[in-house]
Amino acid sequence: MKAVQFKEYGGPEVLRVVEIVEPRAGPSQVRIKVRSAGVNPSDWKRRAGLYRDFEEVSFPSGVGVEAAGVVDEVGPGVSDVSVGDAVFGYGINTVAQYAVLTHWAHKPDGLSFEVAGGLPVISETALRSLDDVGVKPGGTLLVSGAAGGIGSAVIQFASRQGITVIGTASAQKHDYLRGLGAVPTTYGPGMAGRVRELATEGIDAALDLAGSGIIPELIGIVGDSSRVVSVADFTAPQYGARFSAGPPKNPEKILADVARLCCEGLFHLHVERIFPLERTAEAQEVSAEGHVTGKLVISVA
């Protein structure tokens, strides 16, 4: 099968499309014929070696942690799916023609493979980080980096919980944020003043999804470091703020719930661009530029 791999840390040029043997589904796993795989910032960060201090990569390494496709092998102990079922979920080296999934849910017919392949990471991270900031219904949450994959999901989940979201993005994305249910403002100089003008009742908590080095500023806006959470800035704890990380709790339920919400029209994932597997390096470059709206997806033939 075709798969995308890298043999050393480096830029997008280290990625290669190679021919390798299909993986086998182990206990509590399924193998899928991949139809789509989401592109996440962690893909290029791992490839660039940014995680090398805390995560071992054995070379050659595959790429991708989420996918949607059709089950073609069921591992021992799996009873909720059969060969031929369409599923989506978390997996191992998913940017390939076949991949093993470790957690999954059925993909309803009303949900496209492209969207389903991009849902797992953003849904779980959004729900977990929202839980971590602990804003109650009626409260106001500031989200830095609101137009990306996780931000788009946070806005929608928070709005459903009755939380007002003030989201930062560049000006051309403000209509996008409004469409998801957020009150937009720009990041950069003067952000604190703009946020205070919008949030006359105050900000209850802040969520940093951009990792742009503004934890102290967010603490200043909220007034309490314990109500600032980041998923992208490892320095957050140095300031008394929290860093939110996986592993996912109850991933199957999250996947099933978000699939249902999508089909009911209550959750929308904007897929900005779809790349063929052969152009995974370009997809990672676009992700690394840091201005994706919604999600990038790899389509696998």
Ligand X SMILES: NC(=O)c1ccc[n+]([C@@H]2O[C@H](COP(=O)([O-])OP(=O)(O)OC[C@H]3O[C@@H](n4cnc5c(N)ncnc54)[C@H](OP(=O)(O)O)[C@@H]3O)[C@@H](O)[C@H]2O)c1
Q: How far is the CB of 256 from ligand X (least distance, A)?
A: 20
Q: Which residue is nearest to ligand X (CB)?
A: 148
Cβ proximity of 68 and 87 under 8 Å:
yes
Q: Can you give the binding site for ligand X, defined by CB under 6 A? A: 40-42, 45, 121, 125, 144-145, 147-151, 168-170, 173, 187, 209-212, 231-232, 244-246, 287, 290-293
Long-range contacts of range 122-125, CB-CB < 8 Å, 24 or more positions apart? Answer: 122/38, 122/149, 122/150, 122/152, 122/153, 122/269, 122/295, 123/153, 123/254, 123/255, 123/258, 124/246, 124/248, 124/251, 124/254, 125/150, 125/153, 125/231, 125/244, 125/246
Q: How far is the CB of 270 from ligand X (least distance, A)?
A: 10
Cβ distance to ligand X smaller for residue 137 or 237:
237
Cβ distance to ligand X smaller for residue 139 or 148:
148
Q: How far is the CB of 103 from ligand X (least distance, A)?
A: 15
Q: How far is the CB of 196 from ligand X (least distance, A)?
A: 18
Q: How far is the CB of 152 from ligand X (least distance, A)?
A: 8
Cβ distance to ligand X smaller for residue 49 or 110:
49
Cβ distance to ligand X smaller for residue 40 or 97:
40
- Choose among 253, 255, 267: nearest CA to 68: 255
Length of the chain: 301
Cβ proximity of 31 and 1 under 8 Å:
no
Cβ distance to ligand X smaller for residue 188 or 240:
188
Angle formed at CA 133 by CA 127 and CA 139, multiple of 5 degrees: 100
